[in-house]
Structure 1
């Protein structure tokens, strides 16, 4: 065995061990119940010990709150339903699945995927998926609930492992969250927090939304290339060939019970399919023009009323709804023109079949929502974040070492607090003034934070959409557990953390501007 093969074998063995250990954990729903109980106990312990920290921006004392107190018990009981109903991944996923299910049920999705896999060269498929994932962050939740499941189907249609497609899309959507070709809402949110923080030492300094723009453009291509290489060289070789055949989609579990519309959709005459696709294409153009008219004219219905804000912000915030509406209308149009649909009940059946696949996902999300909200209400995540920031502040490292350490601390803290803006609101008042005084530009510190935050999004179950991705993976391989998903995403996380950090340090050494 050559040295390269030996190294690859050891690497795969390590990841396989991680997957095996992770999958020996209980069912994800049971795991979230256990996590919730641990948070409840820890909240009581930390409250009894008087654990507290001073918030770096306003000096407010933040103390742990016990979930075993009368206040905590009342909150857990009264908030159980609202925790679930208001949990970010629940509503958008249901809405998106209802629309996309019509496109799949009518045969439109299958026809498009066949054309797509024929037109994209095999060697560029992973690159295209990761790149699309990075760009999709402009649409808020759209990448998670639309692109990730589609990527699995695209890889399957190309004869490749669906889990590899899901992993590639997840790496782009979440791991590449701080990269893009266009400025988005996250740039405005983070720069606003950064400006407030740097005002603590310089009232004339400011961080603009565009101050990281040059760097995030280059980062888009870095993330896409790194993600594609990891997919092709590390992830897919690990996935056994049998995984392609080990499909557990609901439609396959109930082949004898498939609706007539779906069965007929796979046996349509080629001419019907071409005609229906042509009409679906014309509808797509009309739909894009419709969306443009909602935001481009000065008095457009969905144009942002704030002249200094992103014009399309209201549309982007609700992009999942527009995608679901498009998928449902395009799917129904395709179905009726192709002959797959003959009555209105056919496309309703398509919606119902999609929602039916979400049963196990919704159960898991109920317990995940409780865990995430328990962690936030008890204050344990905030305590951990501020203590970590204070430790790094006292380490007295060199500029380069401090920047690298800040990336690592941001990455670690991201494992405990999911919200990028909430973490930055805690960390910025500590680090930006300190780094600014020593000569480090606030936009550089902000970018270092974004690198650490994005790189570990894909390996933390605390990230709200982690459960969503797990559920999509289980549709293709029922035995997929948290261990499988974490072991799939860990190579992406480590590679992005390393490559992105090197890019930032090289950028700073060359004294290149991070933005206009």
Structure 2
């Protein structure tokens, strides 16, 4: 058989499967309606399961949790009394709207388009793709803010270059979501997960510990892997499948005028001065944006990254707008902010429905029940050695579809798997690293990701026909390929005997 022909056939099968997923998914109702259906389904499932008095024990607290019935008196009261708070306290809502106040001004005055034309547009195509994934991976330092900043800018870059905006959006989303655990520096997530792990380790050993740097070596090496895989998936699978963008938006390229160049220069000066001010408040140990203990992780700097970024875009947008004449007075700024909010109307409707579904799912304890039941099945099989690690990774990847919060899921799984695998002599930091690989990989395909509706709303901005099927078929190749290659990389890393962090090897007593 001709290998080249065989390869074409394989690629054809993959593309046909993705097309089928998109067709089926897009036949579903409007995403907002779909989330309402999801919420109603959770109500029905909670009622059915509660009839059998199903309970589960939270492995971290030991608390017995029943499956709560949404049709009970307590459930009905929760539906009506929490509806507004589910919406207004939904974290991505305020984060996205706040960010758009700043980014919207920079966009409306033309700064973002001019910047792209002046800088990125002349770079090689391959460099842009990998640079976007890289920016997404490093963006997790800004935690959830990266989900709001990177994908839309990546879509804009691809659109301006005449490439399909969905491909840019997907590359950015994959870097931020699927590559969430990879980074060159220690992040707040390292401290959070290691803290949970340590609480569990105390119940097993008086000497073993997990520190925020215990996964650093492998995390840093994983950046190159995720960027390489994300870039290849974008250029070899996603872009060929999407083809040429034929949406309503027309990419009209023009040269950067002298006035626009001057505006870009002034925006750069203002941005540089602002960043310098932030640096002065962050770098010194006594800096205003450091914690009381003098640390950056955690610190008010990281907690305030969204307002800091908002002000940055607002200032450079104003500097550019006043220079080129798109802003005549300071009163024009709130008008542009209002225009940006008009563009977010569809997103707000979608978030209202999605926030109710996620709140119902969490309230019923169904997610906890699924996680604990899955863990019990895996532990009951009695696997040992590397097979149990592989099984743990893929179980975590599946459970991540139901429990998006990495810390919440780790709080459920760590008390089960850390003691079990420590009895097999595995270092708890090694178990944590295996968990992080799986937890990241499927972030981009679960509707329980609170930023899933944001990406869907961005897609609809470029193509009104887009639906959940479009987004899942777009991101599924990233999840599958990154999960498989990252797992193989992890196994090879440890078969070579390389430490995953300072002094951290696979086995405790090695």
TM-score, normalising length: structure 1: 0.94
Q: Are 2:70 and 1:67 equivalent residues in the alignment?
A: yes
Distance 2:75 2:178 in 1: 34
Contact 1:272 1:339 in 2 (8 A): no
Please, which of 217, 239, 242 is the counterpart of residue 242 of structure 2?
239
Matches within 5 A, 1:405-424: 405-424=391-410
Report how far residue 348 of structure 1 moved.
2.3
| Matching residue of 1:294 | 281
Cα shift at 1:349: 2.5
SS state at 2:373 partner: helix
For 1:353 and 1:488, how far apart are their aligned partners in 2? 29
Offset at residue 71 of structure 1 (A): 1.0
SS of 2:402's equivalent?
A: coil
For 1:417 and 1:406, the matched residues in 2 are separated by 16
Partner of 1:121: 124
Cα distance in 1 between the residues matched to 2:286 and 2:65: 45
Residue among 238, 259, 262 paired with 1:272: 259
**1:462 paired residue among 424, 436, 448:** 448
Aligned to 1:260: none
1:410–1:453 contact (8 Å) kept in structure 2:
yes
- The answer on 1:305 being equivalent to 2:272 is no
Query: Deviation of residue 268 (structure 1)?
Result: 10
Partner of 1:493: 479
User: Quick one: distance in 2 between partners of 1:485 and 1:130?
Assistant: 17
Cα deviation code 1:463-506 (max 9, x no counterpart): 11111111111111111100000001000000001000001111
Q: For 2:336, which of 350, 358, 364 is the aligned residue? A: 350
Contact 2:114-2:256 at 8 Å conserved across structures: no
- The partner residue of 2:24 within 18, 21, 24 is 21
Q: How big is the shift at 1:61? A: 1.1
**Residues 1:90 and 2:76 aligned together:** no
Structure-2 residue corresponding to 1:324: 310
Distance 1:132 1:269, change over 3 A: closer
- Answer yes or no: is the 8 Å Cα contact 2:130–2:228 preserved in 1: yes
Task: Tell me, yes or no, if the aligned pair for 2:282 and 2:296 is still in contact at 8 Å.
Answer: no
Distance 1:43 1:480 in 2: 31
The Cα of 1:173 is off from its aligned counterpart by 0.3
Query: Per-residue deviation at 1:123?
Result: 1.5
- Asked if the contact 1:474/1:480 (under 8 Å) is kept, the reply is yes
**Among 156, 165, 169, the residue aligned to 2:168:** 165
Q: What SS does the aligned partner of 1:431 have?
A: helix
Is 1:53 the counterpart of 2:41? The answer is no
| Partner secondary structure for residue 200 of structure 1 | coil
- Helix, strand or coil at the partner of 2:444: helix
SS in 2 for 1:130: helix
User: Which of 340, 343, 347 is the equivalent residue of 2:326?
Assistant: 340
Contact 1:23–1:484 (CA under 8 A) maintained in structure 2: yes
Instruction: Judge which range, 394-403 or 168-177, deviates more.
Output: 394-403
| CA–CA separation in structure 2 for the residues paired with 1:312 and 1:460 | 28
Q: How many residues align?
A: 499
- Is the counterpart of residue 445 in structure 1 residue 408 in structure 2? no
Does the Cα contact within 8 Å between 1:295 and 1:312 map onto a contact in 2?
no
- Which residue in the other structure is 1:79 paired with? 82
Among 349, 370, 373, the alignment partner of 1:387 is 373
Across the aligned residues of Structure 1 and Structure 2, the Cα RMSD in angstroms comes to 1.7
The 2-side partners of 1:295 and 1:124 are apart by 31
Tell me the secondary structure at the aligned position of residue 458 of structure 1: coil
Secondary structure of the corresponding residue to residue 204 of structure 1: coil
Q: Counterpart of 1:282? A: 269
State the Cα distance separating 1:284 from its structure 2 match: 1.5
Q: Which residue of 2 aligns with 1:145?
A: 148
Structure 1 residues 173, 247: closer, same or farther in 2, change over 3 A?
farther
Equivalent-residue separation in structure 1 for 2:82 and 2:444 (angstroms) = 28
Aligned in 2, Cα 1:247/1:315: closer, same or farther, shift over 3 Å?
A: farther
Q: Is the 8 A contact 1:268 1:339 kept in 2?
A: no
Greater CA deviation, 40-49 or 51-60? Answer: 51-60
Aligned-partner SS, 1:245: coil
Q: State the SS of the aligned residue for 1:53.
A: strand
Q: Does structure 1 retain, via aligned residues, the 8 Å contact 2:188–2:297?
A: no
1:270: how far off?
1.8
Q: Scaled by the length of structure 2, what TM-score is found?
A: 0.95
Residues 368-389 of structure 1 show CA distances to partners (whole Å, capped at 9, x for unaligned) of 0000010101110011111111
Q: Which whole-Å CA distance do the structure 2 matches of 1:72 and 1:433 have between them?
A: 35
For 2:109, the equivalent position in structure 1 comes to: 106
- Give the superposition deviation at 1:7: 1.7
Query: Any stretches of 5+ residues in structure 1 without a counterpart?
Result: 253-262
Q: 2 CA distance for matches of 1:161 and 1:16?
A: 17
Deviations 1:95-141 (A, max 9, x none): 11111111111111111011233342112111000000000000112
Q: What are the superposed Cα offsets for residues 395-429 of structure 1, whole Å, 9 maximum, x if unpaired?
A: 11121000000000100100111110000001001
For residue 91 of structure 2, give the secondary structure of its aligned residue in structure 1. Answer: coil
1:312 Cα deviation after fit: 6.1
Provide, for residues 78-109 of structure 1, a one-character-per-residue CA deviation record: whole Å limited to 9, x for no partner.
10000001111100100111111111111111
Match of 1:259 in 2: none
Q: Distance in 1 between matches of 2:17 and 2:432?
A: 34
CA, structure 1 residues 269+491, in 2 after alignment: closer, same or farther (shift >3 Å)?
closer
Cα shift at 1:311: 4.9
